[in-house]
């Protein structure tokens, strides 16, 4: 039986795809620092809870990408971060594999090649293939 990739493997594949397709992309590490004495993770000061795993830009369009495996779910703070990013005019998405990344790029192709801005109808949506279609966010 084939082992499914973990989040780190998916994240590396997505970062490589973004690099090959000439996006400016950054892996955001917001997990915190492990304190072995107290055996807890210390959250970085001024760290925004729920910050996406990857932030990317191409032609002035901002992408916030949360990487999840097939079975992991978004935490509430992650969902809220993606919603806030979409409301600000960026593209927010949940990526579970490389096919999802390619599908998201295809769905927003005109925005990402610099032809059109992100349409208003998409500024209130969070992209996720697992949910089968975009779902409208409460405005």
Domains contained in the chain, CATH given: 7-136 (3.40.1350.10)
Q: What is the pLDDT of residues 72-131, one digit of tens each?
A: 988 898 999 998 898 888 889 999 999 999 988 888 877 776 665 555 545 545 666 554
What is the value of pTM for the model shown? Answer: 0.77
| Interatomic CA distance for residues 91 and 16, integer angstroms | 19
- Tell whether the model's pLDDT for residue 13 goes beyond 90: yes
Q: Where are the beta strands (DSSP E) in the chain?
A: 24-27, 33-35, 40-42, 54-58, 61-67, 91-95, 125-128, 135-136
Higher pLDDT, 19 or 126: 19
Q: What is the pLDDT of residues 34-56, one digit of tens each?
A: 778 887 766 666 567 788 999 99
Summarize the confidence of residues 12-28 as an average pLDDT.
93
- Given this model, what pLDDT does residue 128 score? 66
For 50, residues 6+ apart whose C-beta sits below 8 A from its C-beta are 75, 76, 77, 78, 79, 80, 81, 82
- Given this model, what pLDDT does residue 129 score? 58
């Amino acid at each position: 039986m084939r082992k499914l990739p973990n989040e780190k493997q998916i994240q590396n594949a997505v970062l490589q795809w973004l690099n090959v397709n000439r996006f400016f992309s950054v892996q955001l590490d917001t997990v915190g620092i492990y304190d072995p004495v107290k055996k807890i993770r210390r959250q970085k000061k001024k760290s925004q809870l729920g910050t996406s795993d990857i932030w990317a830009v191409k032609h002035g369009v901002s992408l916030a990408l949360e990487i999840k495996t097939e079975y992991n779910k978004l935490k509430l703070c992650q969902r809220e971060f993606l919603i806030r990013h979409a409301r600000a005019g960026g593209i927010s998405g949940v990526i579970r594999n490389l096919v999802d990344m390619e599908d998201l790029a295809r769905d927003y192709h005109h925005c990402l090649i610099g032809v059109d801005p992100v349409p208003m109808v998409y500024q209130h949506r969070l992209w996720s293939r697992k949910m089968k279609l975009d779902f409208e966010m409460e405005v």
